[in-house]
Structure 1
Amino acid sequence: MALNLDDLGITPAGLDAVRPFAVEALDVRGRAVALGPVLENILDRHDYPEPVSRLLAEAIVLTSLLGTSLKFDGRFTLQTQTDGPVSMLVVDFATPDAIRACATFDREMVEELMAGGKATQEVLLGRGHLAMTIDQGRHMQRYQGLVELDGISMEEVARRYFERSEQIPTEVRLGVGELFTRQEGEGPNKSWTAGGVLIQFLPEAPERMKQADIDPGDAPEGVSPHEIDEDDAWVEAKVLVDTIKDVELTDPEVSVEMLLFRLFHERGVRLFEPQPLADKCSCSRDKIEGVLAGFSAEEIEHMTVDGKIVVTCEFCSSRYDFDAS
């Protein structure tokens, strides 16, 4: 029998909203998201090659899950810097709901990899690092965590980030898909869809969260790696999340509430108010004019073409024209 959320008194969060939840029987808290128009608007605006769009979409999902967890007015930024064909990804979330994103890549190299069927996430990113930055404003110190990118997935990035920076057992599943629809008399229309689930193990007794020490990579020969038996509740939660199929994360007909009910109904899942997301950029004419005012006359002259300075925002593609005088 199909699950009817109305019968349970649950209003679906819908697309472009993060749903916080808790599975108290397993000492687990988490967040789930399904992205639709917000993701489509961002990717359609840039018109990136398909594998670049897919890579940026995963970064947007991960940023949505992490950024909406901020308990203060601030900004969460995810940024990669690597030697791969996609040399940089930037996803910026500003509380309470604004998200924007862009990518820097070598189009010729990406198209060559696509032609050879080798445009995998690992190859596109190459080697480098991913930085997650939390900014609480000009009067507060910024916090930044780094994760080495050495052929790992975005899902593994999140695991390593929390393991090393906050020592919180974390599991995450991300999915990106393309939705094809057809209207009578028209060709197929393609749009992007994506989703994700992140869970963390937060028991009251901190000793239950113990994790194995990180392998230093240079231990003497014959030394056994440090191992710790994981808590049974956390093992169960991870096994359940591992059963999530990509189609469950990308099908608009499968709400996050339906997915969470399927995963945790035997244990009981508690839902909290959803947090909406919006495609918003923080650029403005006044901000850019303020930046230009800081350049020297020589630098302004170098930027000037036919008496004008043209600035295009890399995030939202908005164009601003200024008279050089």
Structure 2
Amino acid sequence: MVEIATLGPASIDPAGDDAVLPFSVEGLDVRGRAIQMGPALSALLARHDYPLPVSKLLGEAVVLAVLLGSSLKFDGQFLLQTQTDGPVDMLVVDYRTSGNIRAYARFKAERVAEIEAEGLSKPELLLGKGILAMTIDQGEFTSRYQGIVQLDGASLEEVAHTYFQQSEQIPTIVRLAVAEMMTREDGGASHSWRGGGMLMQYLPEASIGVHRDLSGGDAPEGLEHHAEEEDAWAEASSLVSTVEDHELIDPDVPAERLLYRLFHERGVRVFDPVPVREQCSCSRERIQGVLSSFSAEEITESIENGEIAVSCEFCGQKYAFDPQEFLG
């Protein structure tokens, strides 16, 4: 990661849409990543005719997966997946360290319509109760790492906070925002999607060393209370908490400007942006390889109208195969 500059009022050109911007604020011992998504998010959501609340929820999952997956220091895959009893019973976001991302949502149309009609399409109502799994895969010959956190009537922002608190034990704040944008063109209206997010973590040279729910008198013997470190995190997190959703997605407030606005008194540095693009990894050859592993009975059961038809749930691409390719 190469440092670009310490931000000033007009120090560098904006990274623009669909680029993760790593940053650090040494004065507060925090590091993080910020992003604004535009064309890539619009293209991804346009792959399917989702109801608006489902598109917004999937968009939030995409922004979260990009913020988390872009931290990987090796070639691999970051997979974010929910399984719940809610109207949107599955979200899957597949982020590759090359910057390619694809996503898919499965939902119960009638239940989503009911919630939409009541004007209560909050993320927690759409998700319901279940789990969110985050899987890191470094490829063949390596072990997968998976973290699981319960979804229990919470938004994706809240679930991310719970994950870091329970699993990573690193003070972390996550902000996510997604909205449909309407523009007028040639007497008509067109729509697109914008998303934005920020993930910030407290990563000092020394551990924070104290739990928030312990007062000084209750702390275990030998555990030091680092008041300055706690004050630094309190300041940083309170600043990020002031950011409103529209600021995260506003193209007139690029990530660099927002970071400068928040942290200029402490000095904020940004690093090389990491581009993100909507790109499915499915291919005829890959699916052909999967079908080749099927038994003759499984191939026969897959035949419909004289062919085997396979559709990619992520991008909707359809592939047709002659069963004789696999029956020999």
Same fold (TM over 0.5): yes
Q: Identity over aligned residues, as a percent?
A: 59
Looking at structure 1, the residues matched to 14 and 250 of structure 2 have their Cα atoms a distance apart, in angstroms, of 14
Shift of 1:180: 1.1
Query: Aligned residue pairs: how many?
Result: 309
Q: Does 1:55 align with 2:54?
A: no
Provide structure 1 residue ranges, at least 5 long, that are not aligned to the other structure: 215-223
Question: 2:8–2:264: 8 Å Cα contact kept in structure 1?
Answer: no
Contact map agreement 1:168 1:209 (CA 8 A) in 2 = no
- 1:25-75 per-residue CA deviation (whole Å, 9 max, x = no partner) reads 000001000000110001011120011111101000001101110000111
Query: Is contact 1:201-1:209 (8 Å) kept?
Result: no
Query: Aligned residue for 2:210?
Result: 210
Paired position in structure 2 for 1:282: 281
Give SS of 1:86's match.
Answer: coil
Q: 1:247 to 1:135 in 2, by over 3 A?
A: same
Q: CA offset at residue 257 of structure 1? A: 0.5
1:178 corresponds to: 180
Gaps of 5+ in 2: 1-6
What SS does the corresponding residue of 1:144 show, helix, strand or coil? strand
Q: Deviations over 1:233-254 (max 9, x none)?
A: 0000011000101110111221
Q: CA RMSD in A?
A: 2.0
1:112 maps to amino acid:
E
Q: Does 1:190 align with 2:212?
A: no
Report what 2:160 is aligned to.
158
User: Measured at CA, do residues 7 and 108 of structure 1 come closer, stay the same or move farther in structure 2, by a change above 3 Å?
Assistant: closer
Please, what TM-score do these two structures have when normalized by structure 2?
0.90
Q: Contact between 1:209 and 1:231, CA under 8 Å: does it hold in 2?
A: no
The more displaced of 97-106 and 158-167 is 158-167
SS at match of 2:44: helix
Q: What is residue 26 of structure 1 aligned with on the other side?
A: 28
Alignment of 1:130-149 (within 5 A): 130-149=132-151
Match of residue 219 from structure 1: none
Other-structure match for 1:297:
296
Counterpart-to-counterpart distance in 1, 2:105 and 2:160: 19
The answer (yes or no) to whether the contact 2:160–2:174 under 8 Å persists in 1 is yes
**Partners of 2:211 and 2:162 in 1: how far apart?**
12
Point out the more displaced range, 50-59 or 289-298.
Answer: 289-298
Alignment of 1:206-285 (within 5 A): 206=207, 208-212=208-212, 231-285=230-284
Q: 1:139 to 1:42 in 2, by over 3 A?
A: same
1:304 Cα deviation after fit: 1.1
The DSSP-based 3-state class of the residue aligned with 1:283 is: coil
Q: TM-score, normalised by structure 1?
A: 0.91
